[in-house]
Amino acid sequence: MQIGFIGLGHMGGPMAANLLKAGHALTVFDLSPAALEDAQKAGAKVAASPRAAAEASETVITMLPAAAHVKAVYLNEDDGVLAGARAGVPLIDSSTIDPATARLVADAARAHGNSFADAPVSGGVVGAQAGTLTFMVGADEALFETLKPVLAGMGKNMVRCGETGTGQIAKICNNLLLAISMIGVAEAMKLGEVLGIDPTKLASIINTSTGRCWSSDTCNPYPNILPNAPASRGYSGGFGADLMLKDLGLAVDAARQAKQPVFLGALAQQLYQSMSQQGLGDLDFSGIIKLYGKE
Ligand code: NAD
């Protein structure tokens, strides 16, 4: 299939490379010349604008930093995706953004004769490289079935969450919970250490007890409990605290608009903000344990 791909960063770069490997023809656009050069070397054609990438394509995928970029790339009257996409061409946005913007872009796409799916991902850069991402898709059933073969070139699991916007809702609710559970595990591990139990013993008890969760048994924030966790390599790699802070911002904003309290989410946002202020925003988010005192 002829695919337009816009946004070739940490995630989009390897996702585009996997689509090429799966046999699709890609026309790409990014603001970064280096990202374009890499994609060209891998076999993609380079377009001069989102509009030109869309004009050449039967499906368009975007993987951009935040809502402002998504709005600009789709809606710009002169050189946006909608200015170039032929009627009937489906559009997929895999960026993590707020559900309201996803719906706004979907409405504009519909008015232009295009279907639009929000399809944010989990699995991180490692999953993007390995082609094992999970896609949380907001789309009607017919569109979801149409998009599945394309998404299969980049991921292993595709879940239809409901209508437009629900992919983003699933993504921000999951990350809200993850942010909070990581803080809970960090707090418990640090308290245990200070009160005098061996941290490895404490972790093994938690992991066979009711406190067990992904943050305790797969990404424990206490160093050297799990050899492959970011905590055991100075919190490098993994999911950056600044990205978690961005996702918490989306969740807290969406909650404010819905007048729905998120007591712990708001507190978690402040804790990751404090981590970021201390210059630790590039560390894996499990580095939040550093707020509890020295290792
Ligand atoms: P990134 O900053 O590495 O890449 C974004 C790319 O978009 C860059 O190459 C940038 O040049 C390009 N870009 C920005 N504005 C543009 C424009 N107007 N036109 C064309 N290109 C433009 O970001 P990333 O880490 O690849 O993340 C992308 C999205 O995926 C974000 O919404 C992020 O929250 C989400 N996400 C990231 C991860 C992760 O682990 N990095 C995991 C899951 C979801």
CATH of the domain at 75: 3.40.50.720
Of the three residues 164, 188, 216, the one that is the final residue of a domain is 164
Does one domain contain both 22 and 153?
yes
Query: What does DSSP say about strands 133-138 and 121-122: parallel, antiparallel, or unpaired?
Result: antiparallel
Q: What separation in Å is there between the alpha carbon of 224 and the centre of ligand 1?
A: 31
CATH number at residue 287: 1.10.1040.10
Cα–Cα–Cα angle for 106, 171, 220, rounded to 5 degrees: 165
Beta-carbon neighbour count of residue 77 at 10 Å? 8
Task: Give the residue, out of 15, 37, 64, with the most ligand 1 atoms within 8 A of its beta carbon, to mutate for a pocket test.
Answer: 64
SS3 for 137-164 is EECCHHHHHHHHHHHCCCEEEEEEEECC
Active site residue 171: yes
Does one domain contain both 134 and 207?
no
Does one domain contain both 108 and 175?
no
Which numbered atom of ligand 1 lies nearest the CA of 120?
44
Which residue range is the domain that position 272 belongs to?
169-292
The C-alpha atoms of residue 181 and residue 176 are separated, in whole angstroms, by: 9
Q: What separation in Å is there between the alpha carbon of 7 and the centre of ligand 1?
A: 6
Say which residue the tokens 């569109």 belong to.
143
The C-alpha atoms of residue 203 and residue 187 are separated, in whole angstroms, by: 12
The C-alpha atoms of residue 244 and residue 152 are separated, in whole angstroms, by: 26
pLDDT in tens, the chain (295 residues): 999 999 999 899 999 999 999 999 999 999 999 999 999 999 999 999 999 999 999 999 999 999 999 999 999 999 999 999 999 999 999 999 999 999 999 999 999 999 999 999 998 888 999 999 999 999 999 999 999 999 999 999 999 999 999 999 999 999 999 999 999 999 999 999 999 999 999 999 999 999 999 999 999 999 999 999 999 999 998 899 999 999 999 999 999 999 999 999 999 999 999 999 999 999 999 999 999 997 6
Write out the two tokens for 129. 């490289």
